[in-house]
Structure 1
Amino acid sequence: MVTVKEPTAGTMAARTAVILFVFVIVFTGLLAGAYQWTLPAIQASATEEKMKLVNEVLPTASYDNDLLHDTLALAPTPELGLEEPSTVFRARMGGAPAALVLEAVAPDGYAGKIRLILAVQADGRVAGVRVTQHKETPGLGDYVEPKKDRNKERPWITQFNGLSLATLAEKEWKVKKDGGHFDSNAGATVTPRAVVKAVKKAVAYVDAHRDELFAAADKNAADRK
């Protein structure tokens, strides 16, 4: 009669380790394959979302270049309220500067930071502003976001359209409650006050750095050559 030798604890542990190792390798390979397969769709979706935001603040008829390939990387910029790197999209018409699309942050919203995207034309006028992220009180301070604003014909955020440092005096860049130009809803002035301040700072930043922002080398274009 042949006696079958039972595997030792060490042998069992080694087998288990090998099986787990093979499982991890196979699973990782499948994940990597799935990621590579879906990457084009993910990138296309991200590009589409970027252009949706850009198109909300800058009419497509105002430029003829590819904004996604004419960009400038900004380091963290305190003037814009940005603590992390950001991207500036540069619009051109016939090769001439048309507008800059950039991000900004209002750090002093009622419930925290309010993230913005805005377009400033080459002559310094605001083409459009949108709130991209906030935690303001629903039904009270969230009217700075167009889809939450009850005034659908003229949302609050559109008050910035066409304004510049040249057309609106510095003291006017405040809500009316503080003696300025901008309307605000009764009982909810903290949020618009923060947005107005952030937009003014962003417009001033563009005014001070316009030539530098437009003239900087397009690294993406250089990479494509």
Structure 2
Amino acid sequence: MTTPRRTLAVQLRDQIRDLVTTERLNPGDKLPSENDLIARFGVGRTTVREALKLLEQDGVVQTRQGDGRYLTAQLGLDRPLTRLEGVTEMLASRDLAVHNTVLDIQLVEPDEEQRHRLRLAAGEALVRLERRRQHRDDLLLYSIDLFPRSLVPQPLSEVDWTGSLFTLLSEHGHLIAYASAQVSAVTLDRALARRLGQPATVAWLLLTQTHHDSAGRPLLYSEDYHRGTDFSFHLVRRRD
């Protein structure tokens, strides 16, 4: 009985995010009350509280006891770093019409670091997937993903690689539960910048992650280059 309620809460969370954008609320502004949200969206109080809790976990809403809830971070493509989401999911949540292009898909022999990071068996190959995401003519994101060939057994040519890798892996019984991540500010090397048609001087946020299932098995290694003019990531830091 909890799954439908959870689904409604996730939908309402995104609707509240849209409300914040359309009403141009800024960090420090107060959100509508629970009663206002119930009346506006036609949902129950439990769903409203679950949706607001999700926004708190994202680090964009803070509850002030006896005074309601306040926005703590700017929305848009500002993302909570503690929330694990695939690139496809992240862009879809902002209703961006994104064109996903596969630049390259191939089997590769892992180097020692990759073999260690993904705990590969001797002789096991990697799938290397290289993609770009564009909104209209603007390149938003460039990514490289590596995962063991055994996770997706059908011929590579028969797979639609333009969708969510998280979804594809879950369809084969491999559910990503958490990731270890590192964020760094980088510029593209000149050869890659020319290949992508980007200035070599533009700053990018490189999010490097190793994704694991609930048992701790590494499933996926990714390097996602987010264009710095369009993306930011935030953390909520507390003293307690």
Q: TM-score range by the shorter chain?
A: under 0.3
The TM-score normalised by the length of structure 1 is 0.27
Scaled by the length of structure 2, what TM-score is found?
A: 0.25
